[in-house]
Amino acid sequence: MLEQSHSITYGETTISFQVGFSSRKTLQIAVHPDKSIFVKAPVETPIEEVKNRIKKRARWINRQIYYFSQFDPRTPPRKYVSGESHLYLGKKYRLKVSKATNDQVRLKDGYFLIETQSIKPDRVKILLNQWYREKADSHIHNIFDACWEKFKHKKQYKPVCKIVNLKKRWGSLSKAGTLSLNVELIKTPKECIEYVIIHELCHLVFHNHSRDFFYLLDQSLPDWMQRKYKLEMSLV
Ligand SMILES: [Zn+2]
């Protein structure tokens, strides 16, 4: 993700990590659920010092990696049958499928209530995905508008926001100024959706993941790292 990638050797393992420098006082090491290692360091820190710190924390880092590996694969395939849990804005809801003359999807008392003529999983999947799409179209646009209001760089033009199906990314910003957001974001907490939007808005100013980019991200959303972490854990 970052421009600055480094690695150290510890025993028989190689620990690869990414470093972001910003105007902070202390060095912070984070192991993310995808097992990537991210270091936040004060601007003037020599890379040798960062490597020494990684070496000192190597046992802890390996423990974290081992811990996260128990969650592979991350998203269990869904069967679209009653009793199964599905996510909406970071919360889990149980599916309750029942026969009815009219198709309807509702959230009530912790349940996704799905009424449909055909209770076949294929049909339930289509109905649920339509519901997600409608919610994404309204909520994510609202969150985007609110984020834009808070985003400091008024020199930039407001991008056009589109909700799309993306295979591997949460969001992207085109050179022409179109912000594409993954419809799947509607399953994650609002604070995570805000993180993805602010991250992409920072790309209006810096098109890479440079030091300046992370400085702007820190300024715009000081707790972005916690939000990113939460996002990575959210689709389990
Ligand atoms: Zn980015």
Report CA dihedral (207, 232, 190, 93) to the nearest 10 degrees.
Answer: 150
* pLDDT (mean) for 204-220: 90
Distance (angstroms) between ligand 1 centre and the Cα of 200 equals: 6
Helices 121-150 and 190-205, packing angle to 10 deg: 50
pLDDT digits (tens, 9 = 90+) for 40-57: 999 889 999 999 999 999
Helices (H) and strands (E) in the chain, counts: 6, 11
Distance (angstroms) between ligand 1 centre and the Cα of 26 equals: 24
Distance (angstroms) between ligand 1 centre and the Cα of 217 equals: 10
Map residue 20 onto helix, strand or coil: strand
Distance, in Å, from the CA atom of 170 to the CA atom of 188, rounded to the nearest integer, reads 11
Please provide the distance, in angstroms rounded to a whole number, between the alpha carbons at the two ends of the chain: 22
pLDDT digits (tens, 9 = 90+) for 131-145: 999 999 999 999 999
